[in-house]
Homo-oligomer: A and B are copies of this chain.
Amino acid sequence: MKLAYSTASPYVRKVMIVAIEAGLDSKIEKLPMAVRPDQPSAALAADNPLMKVPTLVTDAGDKLFDSRVICGYLDSLHSGAKLIPESGSARWQALRLEALGDGITDAGILVRYELGLRPKELHWKEWIDGQTKKVIQGLDQLESEAASLSGPLNIGQIAVACGLGWMKFRNVFGDVLATRPKLAAAIAKLEERPSFKATVPQG
């Protein structure tokens, strides 16, 4: 398999953690890509017209994206403990937690694009405030349900930890864990796993 890849992307990190936990990482060839929304990557476009990482080309030649689809695909390839529970309430709770983690990350990325890439004279305060509110409310929700971040590893925990790892790496919102001790403890425990240590963001 070939994976269009960036060491800074929280969504690529989700995929790589799933790959490592599933014992599949040695079967994935990583192809580094530079991705900026104002400078779309033509190299990626052949496999993914949305020009986003992660994009996975399977051994059969199928071109899969985005991170949720790739994580589901990888989780179907191994016979160990599933990272996406197969049915029942556990499944929907894990997928809802993944959507919450991804949603916080999406809003955080939009704030970073605004503050870090868009020329300063074009910033729009209402947009920054609206997206920041999603991030803050999302983090407060996670603090209130931090128990869901422990227990058998699942895709929701991975998505949340990747989002928070990315926030720390980019330092968009300061130390968001300082005022959320339960969330901080849960993330610290996840970050101890070899799959998380092997994929700490770099850029």
Contacts of A96 in B (CB 8 A): 62-65, 69
Q: Chain A: residues with CB nearer than 8 A to chain B?
A: 37-40, 45, 49-52, 58, 60, 62-66, 68-69, 72-73, 76, 87, 89, 92-93, 95-96, 98-100, 103-104, 107, 113, 118-119, 122-124, 126-127, 129-131, 133-134, 137-138, 140-141
The listed residue (B39, B40, B130) touching A134 by CB distance below 8 A is B40
Cβ–Cβ contact B49 & A93, under 8 A: no
Residue on B with the closest CB to A137?
B49
- Chain A interface SS verdict (over half): helix
Chain B nearest CB from A9 CB (Å) reads 15
Identical subunits present: 2
Contacts of A134 in B (CB 8 A): 40, 49-51
A78 to B93, CA, bound (A): 19
What would be 17 A-B contacts, judged by CB atoms less than 8 Å apart? A37-B127, A45-B137, A49-B137, A50-B103, A51-B137, A52-B103, A62-B89, A62-B92, A65-B99, A65-B103, A66-B99, A69-B92, A69-B95, A69-B96, A69-B99, A72-B92, A76-B87
The listed residue (B38, B49, B68, B130) touching A127 by CB distance below 8 A is B38
